[in-house]
């Protein structure tokens, strides 16, 4: 599925382009709140793919509504989710207009076999958003292929033995205090957190003093149920 509508030029001051790994393409967004939503989608283990501006829905006025996103899930039996992303202030300011839009989109979603939900800043501007933005830079392998497997194996084995252990301690001890190896190990730890192979508390700001472990008891995914 492809977007049915291009982002208007007048929104580019707050909108932009986002390199989506889950979709393997560039995704457009219309607001900083939509950008926050994209980060949550990218890190949610439940989300398979998504498309922005996914469809045109006839409105009571005879024109069309275009919802913000359609989200697809890894669970085959889970219904796709039609999404609107709006600031609470915008909903209050344009309540009559937007409530009509939301009701129309909800009816359309039901007819198509989708669910429908409105996300606001209360759902998306969470403490873990800053962590997602930081970790997004580490989703790709941080080292050449000939070094990657060895560094990953060393980190996993060390954390398994010492857990919970601080990020900086993993890097310094395995790097033996040498500048370049320590930097490589630090990048490897962040990469393993970003890809879910190491666990931590993503609701607290990530620093070099953050504790990591292998046990799968850390919260991951969206901070609110999709």
Average pLDDT, the chain: 91
User: What is the mean pLDDT of the segment spanning 63-79?
Assistant: 96
**Quick check: 4 pLDDT over 80?**
no
Alpha helix positions (H), 195-224: none
Q: Which of 5-9, 37-41, 137-141 is the least confident region?
A: 5-9
61 burial (CB, 10 Å; 0-12 / 13-18 / 19+) is exposed
| Torsion sign over Cα 184, 187, 191, 193 | positive
Q: Which of 82-96, 123-137, 212-226 is the least confident region?
A: 212-226
User: What is the mean pLDDT of the segment spanning 96-114?
Assistant: 96
Of 23, 33, 28, nearest to 12 (Cα)?
28
pTM of the model: 0.88
Distance between CA atoms of residues 5 and 14, nearest Å:
17
Q: What is the fold, at CATH topology level, of the domain defined by 9-124?
A: Trna Endonuclease; Chain: A, domain 1 (3.40.1350)
**Domain residue spans of the chain:** 9-124, 136-212
User: What is the mean pLDDT of the segment spanning 194-220?
Assistant: 86
- In tens, the pLDDT along 173-190 reads 999 989 999 999 999 999
Beta-carbon contacts of 141 under 8 Å, excluding residues fewer than 6 positions away, are 148, 191
**Quick check: 223 pLDDT over 90?**
no
- In tens, the pLDDT along 190-204 reads 999 999 999 999 999
Determine the length of the chain. 226
Of 136, 154, 226, nearest to 190 (Cα)?
136
pLDDT band at 46 (very low <50, low <70, confident <90, very high): very high
pLDDT band at 13 (very low <50, low <70, confident <90, very high): low
Whole-number pLDDT of residue 61: 86
């Amino acid at each position: 599925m492809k977007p049915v509508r291009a982002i208007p030029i007048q929104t580019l001051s707050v909108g932009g382009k986002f390199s989506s790994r889950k979709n393997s393409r560039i995704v457009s967004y219309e607001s900083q709140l939509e950008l926050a939503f994209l980060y949550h989608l990218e890190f949610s283990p439940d989300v398979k793919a998504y498309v922005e501006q996914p469809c045109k829905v006839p409105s009571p006025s005879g024109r069309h509504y275009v919802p913000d996103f359609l989200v697809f899930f890894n669970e085959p039996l889970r219904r796709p989710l039609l999404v609107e992303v709006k600031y609470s202030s915008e909903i209050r300011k344009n309540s009559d207009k937007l409530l009509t839009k939301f009701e129309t989109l909800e009816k359309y979603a039901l007819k198509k076999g989708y669910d429908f939900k409105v996300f606001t800043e209360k759902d998306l501007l969470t403490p873990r958003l800053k962590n997602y933005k930081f970790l997004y830079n580490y989703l790709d392998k941080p080292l050449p292929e000939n070094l990657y497997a060895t560094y990953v194996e060393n980190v996993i084995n060390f954390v398994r033995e010492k857990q919970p252990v601080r990020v900086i301690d993993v890097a310094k001890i395995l790097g033996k205090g040498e500048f370049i190896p320590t930097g490589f190990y630090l990048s490897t730890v962040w990469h393993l957190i970003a890809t879910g192979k190491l666990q931590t508390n993503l609701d607290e700001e990530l620093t070099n003093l953050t504790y990591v472990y292998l046990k799968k008891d850390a919260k991951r995914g969206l901070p609110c149920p999709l």
